[in-house]
Amino acid sequence: MSESVQKVSARDFLAVLQSAEEPLVIDVRTVAEVGHEYLDGSVNMPLHELSPSKVRTCVTEKNTGEGPIHLLCGTGKRAESAIEKLKGEVANPLLIIDGGIQALKQAGCSLNKGQGRVMSLERQVRVAAGSLVLAGVLLGTFLNSGFFALSAFVGAGLIFAGITDTCAMGMLLARMPWNSVTR
């Protein structure tokens, strides 16, 4: 099994796209995010559904052999989490497209636009966290001071997410029905 994990810049990846062989790209964003815009030829496997067996099946179906697997997400963070799930379990080299879809757009990559209207998972987390904090403050002010604990709980969760670079709220939101809408 390969322990090799590397990042490839968006510009270097564009050169790979222009080569004769089509690279295997696994997009670990939610179905709804991919439905908004996506890289042609990529395979969508949302991070919360990603497993080594699914990736091995994909490698076999795409006839990739021992070629690299490029992991793509919005900014690169979820691709790093995907590496942790796959490291040591998949024989192919794992490459993170550094900066994700955002970096590809900045590098001039042509992306397909879907019909999806769902905002990115990161924006959903900010809206949800902000709403919960505001609700805790308003309810604590006007109903019962115990509701301030809701704001404290969300604040503690954000601190934990920042320190550990994991986000439980993001993983929960990724499973919501509006994030399962197809292209």
Please say if 167 is a catalytic residue: no
Measured distance CA(32)–CA(35) in Å, rounded: 5
Q: Report the distance separating Cα 111 and Cα 123, nearest Å.
A: 20
* Residue 79 in tokens: 């691709």
Beta-bridge partner residues of 96:
7, 71
Catalytic residue among 58, 73, 109, 167: 73
Q: Annotate 141-167 with b (16+ C-beta within 10 A) or e (fewer).
A: eeeeeebeebbeebeeebeebeeeeeb
List, in sequence order, every residue forming a beta bridge with 37; answer none if it has no partner.
113
Note whether 33 and 118 are within 8 A (CB): yes
Q: Comparing C-alpha atoms, which of 180, 154, 152, 179 is closest to residue 168?
A: 154
**Cβ atoms of 17 and 41 closer than 8 Å:** no
Residues belonging to the active site: 73
